[in-house]
Structure 1
Amino acid sequence: MISQGYGMTESAAVATRGYNTKEIHNYTSVGLLAPNTQAKVVDWVTGSSLPPGGVGELWLCTPGIMKGYLNNEEATVDENGWLHTGDIVYFDKDGYLYIVDRLKEVIKYKGFQIAPADLELVLMSHPDVVDAAVTAASDEEAGEIPVAFVVRKNGSTLSKASLINFVAAKVAPYKKVRKVVYMKSIPRTPVGKIIRRELKNLLPSRL
């Protein structure tokens, strides 16, 4: 039986655990909160706590939370004991936690916040797209714009303009992809995580 969990060194490892059985299972979530663990999802712009389904930054509070980082007071636990994880998440109505993205990867377009993972899901829903990753490119007018790196199916003639229009039809106007770069493969770690820094290194020469 497959089971997932979520944790950080700063939280003394486990914060959530999957409780999957033959009768009850949820393989897309990282599980339910571990005993003695408190959590809330916070809008990273307003600082407001969000209800189930709301996407924001995960804050944790447990007996095992660290006191702070050595020689780095700005990146420590807040005065109320909450660890700001930097992970973008949401809880469903049953208390299951879902990881969406990392806060540091959020694209800031004209004051709006765009999670790359949201656009990657839309791109991957196109029948001609094998793999996709999104990152930010600097823009004088907007601050940052979303750029999609895409691997097409062999033999596909999908144009960049068609793919941009495909995404635009499924997201809010501010979220739409502004540029597309076709690649043979997306740089990933051995466990499949997108290496966005490598994509950013390609931006000046590919756009």
Structure 2
Amino acid sequence: MTEAGGIFRTVTPEECMRYGSCGRLSGGSEARIVDPNTLQRLPPCHKGELWVRGATIMKGYIGNEEATNSVLDSEGWLKTGDLCYIDNEGHLFVVDRLKELIKYKAYQVAPADLEDILLSHPEIANAAVVPYPDEEAGQIPMAFVVRKPQSSLSEAQVMDFIAKQAFFLTLTLAN
């Protein structure tokens, strides 16, 4: 993100070979993973929001104190909005965008997780999951699914497939 340049880096060949990692923390920078609900700091290998601070962090949004206060706390921690974890060796892994999480009742659901489940079906070529307003649940996941050519996969079959692996999902099916 432009608000926080150069916080994580890969330098050594070993760091570059860590599949899916953004690298390790750069010198002069700090990072923590925070539970988005409790704001408690989490230990390694636990998913939460990435907060960073250091010399390369922005000071704020010019002329927009409200926006600045929404992302920077009083101690200078920038709340990135990225859902991440840091492994035991200090490698950062980005999982999803916190702001894109679907708030289903008391749960936070990552659209990417549901998309991965849908894409594991042999007759699905592509899928996108977005939040859909719901009076009772707050939001429900709604999927847009593209079938592979010559597939006769029905909405009911997709719903059956997803129901065995996830919870409620609204579906729109396209060829």
Gap regions ≥5 residues in structure 2: none
- State the match for 2:164 in structure 1: 169
TM-score, normalisation: structure 1: 0.75
Match of 1:102 in 2: 97
Where does 1:107-146 land on structure 2 (aligned, <5 Å)? Answer: 107-146=102-141
After TM superposition, the structure 1 = structure 2 runs for residues 40-189 of structure 1, keeping only pairs within 5 Å, are 40-76=32-68, 77-171=72-166, 176-184=167-175
For residue 28 of structure 1, what is the aligned residue in structure 2?
20
Match of 2:2 among 2, 9, 18: 9
The count of aligned residue pairs is 172
- CA RMSD in angstroms comes to 2.0
C-alpha distance in 2 between matches for 1:20 and 1:122: 34
The answer on whether the counterparts of 1:57 and 1:88 sit within 8 Å (CA) in structure 2 is yes
In structure 2, how many angstroms separate the alpha carbons of the residues matched to 1:116 and 1:23?
28
Amino acid at match of 2:57: I
Q: 1 or 2 for the larger relative contact order (CA 8 Å, sep ≥6)?
A: 2
- Segments of 4+ moved more than 4 angstroms: none
SS of corresponding position for 1:157: coil
Q: Secondary structure at the match of 1:84?
A: strand
Corresponding residue of 1:204 = none
Aligned 8 A contact 1:52 1:91 in 2: yes
Contact 1:106 1:114 in 2 (8 A): yes
Instruction: Give the TM-score normalised by structure 2.
Output: 0.88
